[in-house]
Amino acid sequence: MSTDHEQHYLVTGATGNTGTHVAAGLRDRGLRVRTASRHPVPADGAVRFDWGDVSTFDATLDGIDAVYLVAPVGVADPAPLVRPFLESAVDRGVQRVVQLGSSAVGKGDPGLGEIHSLVSELVPRWTVLRPSWFMQNFVGDHPLAEGIRTSGQIITATGAGRLGFIDAADIAAVAVEALTAEDPIEGELILTGPEALSYADAAAVVSDVHGRPVEHIDLTTEQMVQRLVDTGLAPEFARMLAGLDARIRAGQEDRVTGTVEMVTGRPATSLRDFLTADARATTEAPGPAVP
C-alpha cells in the first residue's frame, strides 16, 4: 500500500474522540478522506452510514482502500453488525483496517474482542489498537468530568489500582501511522500514556491544574453497581462497568507502554499536560461578539 494521494481512507466514528483526530490527521497529509455518519454533513466529505442498514454500505465503501473502524456504540453484541460490513469492505478491495479496541478487552472477549477476532480473520492487513482509559473522560460531557465540576469528586470502585491514561489524540496519531505506513504495522498494539496513575493520583493532578480541590471517593464493586443502576443504567450494563473498575483495583490495567513514541516518534502526552492544554483552550476560547 502506498501513501500517495490515490489512496482513499474511510473513517467511521468520525465525530468521536479518536475519529475526529484521525480524519484531521489524514487530511493534514493531503490524503483523501471519507467520513461515515448516520447524520452526515456532505460539505465535510461525509456519507450517510448506518451499521444496521446494509444498503448504506455501497456508497460508504466505494473506492475505499483502508478503514478506521470504530464499532457501533451502545450495542451489547456488535459483531453481527460489523461482520457484513467487513465482508463487504474486503469484497470491494479494502486491504487495511485499523480497529479501535480496548486494553481491557482481549481478542475473542465479548463485544470489542469479537470484533478483534473478525478483523484478524477477514482483513488482509489489520491493526487493533487497545488503548487504556481516555484522558478525555476528565473533561467535556463525560460523567467523570461532570462529577469533578459539580461535586469536586471522582467516584470509582478502583481502589489504589492504576491506569495508563491516554490522550485520544495520541491514539489517533498511532491510527494514522497504521493506516498509511508502507511497511504494515500489524497485530495488536497496547497504548498508554507515559505514566500509570490511580484515580487518587489523577484527582491530585486535576486539583493542581484547576486550582480547586478534587478528591477520589472509593466504593466497593457492589456499591458502584448500585450507584450506576440508580443513574438509570440497566443492571447488566452496570455490572459490566463496575467489573472494569474491579479489574483496575486488582492491578490488571497497571502498565505503561512506549508504543505511542515507537510508532509516532514523539512521547505520549501526560495527564498534566493534557489538562493544562484543555484549561488553556477553554480560557482562551473567544466569547460572544459584542455589538
Quick: pLDDT tens for 100-119.
999 999 999 999 999 999 99
Domain residue limits, the chain? 8-131, 134-166+192-254+269-275
Going by pLDDT thresholds of 50, 70 and 90, the confidence category of residue 287 is very low
pTM across the whole model: 0.92
Report the percentage of the chain scoring pLDDT > 90.
82
Radius of gyration of the chain (CA): 20
- Position 7 scores a pLDDT of 87
Q: What is the pLDDT of residues 140-197, one digit of tens each?
A: 899 999 999 999 999 999 999 999 999 999 999 999 999 999 998 999 999 999 999 9
Cell of 229: 443502576
| Mean pLDDT for the stretch of residues 115-129 | 97
| Domain 8-131 coded CATH 3.40.50.720 | yes
Report the percentage of the chain scoring pLDDT > 70.
94
Cell of 227: 450507584
Query: Do the beta carbons of residue 31 and residue 89 sit within 8 Å?
Result: no
- Position 119 scores a pLDDT of 97
- Position 282 scores a pLDDT of 62
- Position 285 scores a pLDDT of 44
Neighbours of 111 (CB within 10 A): 17
Provide the mean pLDDT of the chain: 92
Give CATH superfamily name and number for 134-166+192-254+269-275: UDP-galactose 4-epimerase, domain 1 (3.90.25.10)
Cα distances (angstroms) measured from residue 229 to each of 146, 153, 222, 232, 254 = 17, 19, 11, 5, 27
Neighbours of 280 (CB within 10 A): 11
Distance CA 99, CA 130 (A): 9
Query: Do the beta carbons of residue 177 and residue 264 sit within 8 Å?
Result: yes
Q: Is the per-residue pLDDT at 76 higher than 50?
A: yes
Cα distances (angstroms) measured from residue 180 to each of 8, 107, 125 = 10, 24, 12
Q: What is the pLDDT of residues 6-62, one digit of tens each?
A: 789 999 998 889 999 999 999 999 999 999 988 777 666 789 999 999 999 999 999
Residue 55 DSSP label: G
